[in-house]
């Protein structure tokens, strides 16, 4: 077994970085910027849309803001640095780790709100810092209710979101926006 610590001149990650076609890298920092942006865009469409009977755009963006919040909070709890690249290997490891911690919800190409909610909760419990009940209960409730109203594939479907469902998504996304920091602290 070899140990390649920070004191070594050449690291394995450096070897990966030398690959000829660098891909854009997702990071916690990027997730957090995107989370806030998608939330504000979704809220804007909800508040100012001329055709509230067709709220698909708003619902789509608000759902993404929740997904990104859960994902970013998970990796914050994991302990990764904000600028660390979140690639498919990191995602696969998170998926497998969630499975070992008893999460059975399918990740749905890493877009399932309930998967990320359960993975986050399980990771926090395993690390000895479960969410307080006052945050844990709404976290679960809003993740589950939002999953009933949003899925990543809805972009290919005619809008099926009612005004009442959109109001529910606004309430849920607003909770995640207001309580985002609480999810990982």
Partner 1 sequence: MPVFRHAPSRTHQHHELVAELARHLEPAPGEPLPPQPEIYEEEVPGTRPLLRVWVVWGAWANLSELERSQIILEAYERARGRKAMLGVSIAAGLTPREAEELGLAVQAASA
> Do residues 83 and 27 make contact, with C-beta atoms less than 8 angstroms apart?
yes
The pair of three-digit structure tokens given for residue 166, joined into one six-digit string:
């959109």
100 binds partner 1 (CB under 8 A): yes
Q: Which of residues 45-84 bind partner 1 (CB under 8 A)?
A: 78-81, 84
Candidate ranges 4-12, 137-145, 160-168, 172-180; the one touching partner 1 (CB under 8 A): 4-12
Q: Which residue has the tokens 């865009």?
A: 41
The pair of three-digit structure tokens given for residue 152, joined into one six-digit string:
């990543």
Candidate ranges 56-64, 86-94, 109-117, 173-181; the one touching partner 1 (CB under 8 A): 86-94
Taking the complex as a whole, the smallest distance from the CB of residue 124 to partner 1 amounts, in Å, to 11
2 binds partner 1 (CB under 8 A): yes
Candidate ranges 36-44, 92-100, 153-161, 165-173; the one touching partner 1 (CB under 8 A): 92-100
Show Cβ contacts of residue 114 under 8 Å, excluding neighbours closer than 6 positions.
105, 143, 144, 147
Distance (Å, whole) CA 126 – CA 57: 37
Taking the complex as a whole, the smallest distance from the CB of residue 122 to partner 1 amounts, in Å, to 10
> Do residues 114 and 147 make contact, with C-beta atoms less than 8 angstroms apart?
yes
* Closer to partner 1 by Cβ: residue 126 or 140: 126
Show Cβ contacts of residue 160 under 8 Å, excluding neighbours closer than 6 positions.
154
Task: Name which of 58, 34, 51 is nearest 171 in CA terms.
Answer: 58
Distance (Å, whole) CA 101 – CA 126: 8
25 binds partner 1 (CB under 8 A): no
Q: Which of residues 109-168 bind partner 1 (CB under 8 A)?
A: 123, 126-127
93 binds partner 1 (CB under 8 A): yes
Binding site for partner 1 (CB under 8 A): 1-6, 8-16, 18-19, 78-81, 84, 89-90, 92-93, 95-97, 99-100, 123, 126-127
């Amino acid at each position: 077994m070899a140990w390649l610590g920070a004191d070594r001149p050449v690291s394995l990650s450096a070897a990966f970085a030398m690959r000829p076609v660098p891909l854009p890298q997702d990071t916690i920092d990027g997730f957090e910027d995107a989370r806030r942006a998608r939330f504000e865009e979704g809220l804007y469409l909800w508040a100012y849309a001329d055709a509230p009977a067709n709220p698909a755009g708003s619902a789509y963006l608000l759902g993404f803001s929740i997904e990104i919040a859960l994902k970013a909070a998970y990796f914050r709890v994991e302990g990764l640095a904000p600028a660390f690249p979140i690639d498919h290997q990191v995602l696969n490891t998170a998926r497998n780790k969630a499975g070992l911690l008893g999460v059975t919800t399918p990740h749905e190409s890493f877009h399932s709100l309930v998967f990320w909610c359960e993975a986050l909760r399980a990771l926090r419990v395993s690390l000895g810092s479960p969410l307080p009940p006052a945050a844990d209960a709404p976290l679960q409730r809003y993740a589950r209710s939002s999953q009933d109203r949003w899925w990543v594939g809805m972009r290919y479907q005619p809008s099926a979101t009612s005004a009442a469902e959109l109001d529910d998504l606004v309430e849920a996304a607003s909770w995640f926006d207001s309580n985002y920091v609480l999810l990982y602290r």
